[in-house]
Chains A and B, each alone.
Chain A
């Protein structure tokens, strides 16, 4: 195998594919490497941890086609360190030569035959607008759990909803729901549970593209992104098996208390008051006519107060406490100039919404204080 490629393109191809590589390689040492295929004037780089596979592809001049597996991190670090310009890579026997200008590296390859063979998903291909999917995923992925002890909650539920696509995630403290009415990805009644880690990676590659093609298989789903120039990316992830909790029953039908407040104003105030919410102490929000009072008290450290103008209707005066980070995530995820906070009481789920449009909902559980 022998080819020449621009450093910047090669760095992007290697680092994007390398994001699927788990550092240690685990039970299968070859998985600490990326597979490089060179043929028909295309270079393909594949990284995988068996759950998530990312394959990047870029047009280059191939002098000699071939396949090799090289240590992902090391190769990526080497290429990144080189000066801008052309990089030559040649594999002979079990050694790869990387050279650029007067720099030369020789890197031992990993056994190609050990690299797992990955099936292509079978289903039909549908396309979705990349920016719409990216904005929806950003609002939902943040509510997914990162705790592998509860695998179901590490996923984002994708479900067909009134002809569009609905994204749902919960870590049991928050629940985020976003509707993408224009996106017809799934058939009627179809639903899949996609690992949020894979979707986090997908968000990163959606930035440069107009469209993303989705192909759904029995056990996995592939997202295919092909920008007009540069590196195209194919991201395949295993689906999570199991029943996602019935999230509909978690959303209260109505809220007696509603507060409307400027989004930036609230965000700034929460960030300030949060400085005094140390050692997992919550932020207390007292809502009353015309204003919202934020307060944080940490024993032996100090306290902070701030009042924000707000339009409030409901119970005379209501105090609800929240984890400040969960609150900030919800305010950030809501769009528009104003947000609406709807509450039942100090112990029931509250909802953060945008005043513009009703396609996003962020539900969060309070902190019980005594």
Chain B
């Protein structure tokens, strides 16, 4: 049996926990783009990733607070350690949700439902946050159950009653069905999972293409053989920053890149990973996305070469960005390998010494991320950078 545990309105709940005056009120985290909204705000129509102005239009009395990423990271770490004490099989999906496999724990910890209830109690008592848990015999169904059980709920799909639970739901509940697919299905008169389940797989493939057709057919019958993936190493390490409508200049973008690269390389060094391919991710004014990439001579986790490569990519892309606008900027390093096997190179030329990086890391580890800043980042608060799962 699987648990899907999902913190409710995570950032907003942390704000309400830490500031009693926000409790019971519509709270929006993030001034530009809405990063998170409390349930009170959601009920009024505020949605995540909505523009700030639009959000205030639908909910004029919302209290807007700036994000405190450090607080969210701390809360997430506390919750994840409770997950790990609950089951050895934890697969983190993001900072605020995870799958837990609780099979075989009955004699040790009780039934899946008891484990879920205990997990909820502990998160509330020890971290002060509400968490919704879905319990089912597949990962997919556990996630559906937590979605239905929100907020602050526990929903168990009893073994044997999976399809009875799933089939009356609307197709939007199926994992991988976004607005576009939902519209395609609705246009054919398919609104419930039961209707999708009655279709032959060939019909779905014809309608949605092979991959998605087979995927939905399987999900509608609650076929999801995926086990929990523990300790799976990331294929890339990245960080990004939403820019709203600030339309940064090239210089401003360069400064943001420094911040992103600093963060990524520090994480790489901590996870003992080195990477060879640097990817610049961009979202344009029309919210379409693009990437540019560059492969380095040698896998590294040093800040200098990765930053140089990122800068070159931005400079090359700039004429296009000037035209299409920039609403999100991100960097990721892929082609990762373990730093415990590094191909050495012949000393063909001068090379920057990585000792600056390790000094940087040690100071930040000891005194906190904000204890040491580059001069270009003075006076800037470190907002809009999403905290992430450990690498």
Contact = CB atoms under 8 A, between A and B. Distances in A.
A147, A282, A349, A368 — which one has the most chain B CB atoms within 10 A of its CB? A368
Interface stretch (B33-41, B216-224, B346-354): B346-354
B341 A369 contact: yes
Contacts of A370: 339-340
A365 B337 contact: no
State which size class the interface on B falls in.
10 to 19
A367 B348 contact: no
A156 to B, nearest CB: 15
A367 B346 contact: no
B71 interface: no
B348 A245 contact: yes
A172 B347 CA distance: 8
Contact of B346 (A170, A282, A323): A170
A279 interface: yes
Contact of A279 (B295, B337, B344, B347): B337
A153 B345 CA distance: 13
A367 B345 contact: no
Given A279-B337, A280-B337, A367 B297 contact: no
A281 B342 CA distance: 9
Nearest to A152: B348
B342 to A, nearest CB: 5
B342 A368 contact: yes
A87 B341 CA distance: 57
A321 interface: yes
A150 interface: yes
A365 B342 contact: no
B343 interface: yes
Nearest to B276: A280
A250 interface: yes
Contact of A150 (B297, B340, B341): B297
A369 B340 contact: yes
Contacts of B337: 279-280
A365 B344 contact: yes
Contact of A367 (B295, B342, B347, B349): B342
B295, B298, B341 — which one has the most chain A CB atoms within 10 A of its CB? B341
Contact of B341 (A173, A245, A321): A321
A27 interface: no
Contact of B344 (A250, A281, A367): A367
Contacts of A349: 346
Contacts of A321: 341
Contact of B297 (A147, A250, A368, A369): A147
Contacts of B347: 250
Interface string B161-191: 0000000000000000000000000000000
A118 interface: no
A280, A281, A363, A367 — which one has the most chain B CB atoms within 10 A of its CB? A280
A347 B344 contact: yes
A176 to B, nearest CB: 12
Nearest to A368: B342
Contacts of A149: 297
B344 A175 contact: no
B375 to A, nearest CB: 30
A304 to B, nearest CB: 16
Nearest to A246: B348
B120 to A, nearest CB: 34
Contacts of A175: 346
A173 B343 contact: yes
A172 B344 CA distance: 9
A365 B345 contact: yes
Contact of B348 (A147, A170, A279, A280): A170
A244 to B, nearest CB: 10
Contacts of A155: none
Interface string A245-259: 100001000000000
A40 B126 CA distance: 94
A365 B297 contact: no
A347 B346 CA distance: 11
Interface in B318-363: 337, 339-349
A369 B339 CA distance: 8
Interface in A304-357: 321, 323, 347, 349
Contacts of A250: 346-348
A134 B349 CA distance: 30
A149 to B, nearest CB: 7
B302 to A, nearest CB: 15
Contacts of B295: 147
Nearest to B309: A149
A250 B348 CA distance: 8
A71 interface: no
B346 A365 contact: yes
Nearest to B312: A149
A329 to B, nearest CB: 14
A175 B298 CA distance: 16
Contacts of B297: 147, 149-150, 172
Interface of B: 295, 297-298, 337, 339-349
26 contacts: A149-B297, A170-B348, A172-B297, A172-B298, A172-B346, A172-B348, A173-B346, A175-B346, A245-B348, A245-B349, A250-B346, A250-B347, A250-B348, A279-B337, A280-B337, A323-B343, A349-B346, A365-B343, A365-B344, A365-B345, A367-B343, A368-B341, A369-B340, A369-B341, A370-B339, A370-B340
Shortest 10 CB-CB distances between A and B: which pairs? A365-B344, A245-B348, A370-B340, A172-B345, A368-B342, A280-B337, A367-B343, A250-B346, A369-B341, A172-B346
Given A147-B297, A370-B339, 19 more contacts: A147-B295, A150-B297, A153-B348, A172-B297, A172-B348, A173-B344, A245-B349, A280-B337, A280-B341, A282-B341, A321-B341, A365-B343, A365-B344, A365-B346, A367-B343, A368-B341, A369-B340, A369-B341, A370-B340
